[in-house]
Amino acid sequence: MFALDKLPSLSANEIGKINVFEVGFGTGLNALLTQFEAEKQGVSINYSTIEASPLPESCWQALNYPHLFRSRVDSQIFAKLHLAPWNQTIEISPHFTLEKIHGTLEAFQAKTGEFDLVYFDAFSPDVQPELWTVEIFREIFQGLSTGGVMVTYSVKGDIVRALRSAGFSTVKLPGPPGKRHILRALKTIINTGA
């Protein structure tokens, strides 16, 4: 679970709109919490997310996140996120649009600099090592705007090294309850000396 409020380098006042890309829509939890923060903070977010194997309705209905989060999130929004058609951009709420891409990360090609923030929420490097490679991280790097950020939950040394090889600078951040650290990878502004 990633928290928008832990990303001080992305200021909505500076960039107006935040273009988010999530790897692995899954249960929709990250999308739901981000939509909640977008409306709470009045920050406009275009949220794109890629998913290889969408969950069937019986699974996401059974999760009952809106009940777990009580009044914080809205059950109608949660259903809207899941029922939104694939491969189309849909307005979910005044500050939040959603594009769910049905496909694999390996085949996805981002336009240069189209995203400001990436939630890298693939299954773990032990389970899916093919998604935690320098090549994949390079693709994400080129898809990020300068000053853009990728966050992920793995802080393994191999992952940090792969991210640095792809061009990122990295920093460990305190994680949410139950997780000591998460990782922030930053596409820094290149100083050409000109």
Ligand X SMILES: C[S@@+](CC[C@H](N)C(=O)[O-])C[C@H]1O[C@@H](n2cnc3c(N)ncnc32)[C@H](O)[C@@H]1O
Rg (the chain; Cα; Å): 16
Per-position x/- string for 28-47, each x denoting binding to ligand X as judged by CB under 6 A, each - no binding: xxx-----------------
Angle between helices 75-83 and 29-41 (to 10 degrees): 120
CB of 22 to ligand X, least distance (A): 6
Residue 53 interacting with ligand X (CB under 6 A): yes
Which of positions 121-180 make contact with ligand X (CB under 6 A)? Answer: 121-123, 128, 131
Question: With contact defined as beta carbons under 8 Å apart, do 117 and 10 qualify?
Answer: yes
Binding residue (CB under 6 A) for ligand X from 73, 98, 105, 136: 105
CB within 8 Å of 185: residues ≥ 6 apart: 137, 149, 150, 151, 152, 163, 168, 169, 170
Binding residue (CB under 6 A) for ligand X from 52, 79, 110, 134: 52
- Assigned token pair, 10: 């992305």
The nearer residue to ligand X, 27 or 133, going by C-beta atoms, is 27
Binding residue (CB under 6 A) for ligand X from 64, 104, 165, 188: 104
> What is the sign of the dihedral through the CA atoms of 4, 20, 77 and 174?
negative
CA-based nearest residue to 77, from 122, 131, 24, 39:
39
Which of positions 2-31 make contact with ligand X (CB under 6 A)? Answer: 22, 24, 26-30
The nearer residue to ligand X, 95 or 100, going by C-beta atoms, is 100
Residue 116 interacting with ligand X (CB under 6 A): no
